[in-house]
Amino acid sequence: MSTIYLIRHCETTGQAPDAPLTPGGEEQARRLCTQLLELPITHLISSPYRRALDSIQPLATALKLPITREDALKERQLSAVPLDDWQDHLRQTFFDPDYTCPGGESSRIATERITRVVDEALQQHDGSILVTHGNLLSLYLHSIDPTFGFEESLQLKNPDIFKVTRIQKQTIIEHLVAF
């Protein structure tokens, strides 16, 4: 049996890779640290985006653990161009894993990259925390539980925590309440 934790970053000021946390997001990061200190954490792995790194930095400081930056945990790019009806396109990606917008990444490709990181952590780094983003996290959850779809993805919070346990070849997801 192996267990890791998937975390959606805290509240942010925007979607750009260098967008910082809001003041409320900074407080969430401190509270998240307090909550996660109760867990047997061995590794911290994060998206390279600032909002993800800043969300886990208080825990890294408290545990004196380095944060490994993992490009495969960055958010999925839905499109390279602005879309007025982006939520309609996003909804479509839950029904058609190969659907892509101009310059965007399909759900299939995005799911494959997060699944590789999760599988590696479950095999090699029991007790890891992986910090990522809402859409990518939703796609992973959808791959494990197809009833977790677009509407459920809209219910994710900042931050949000999921415990992922692998027992033999079965993956079990448990939604933990943040604070």
In terms of Cα–Cα distance, which of 162, 105, 173 is closest to 129? 162
- Cα separation values, 163 from 6, 7, 14, 101, 171, Å: 6, 9, 26, 31, 10
pLDDT value of residue 130: 98
20-51 residue pLDDT tens: 999 999 999 999 999 999 899 999 999 999 99
Give me the percent of the chain exceeding a pLDDT of 70: 100
pLDDT value of residue 58: 98
pLDDT value of residue 178: 83
82-120 residue pLDDT tens: 999 999 999 999 999 999 999 999 999 999 999 999 999
- Indicate the pLDDT class of residue 177, thresholds 50, 70 and 90: confident
Domains, in order of start, for the chain: 2-176 (3.40.50.1240)
- Helices (DSSP H) in 37-133: which residue ranges? 50-63, 86-95, 107-124
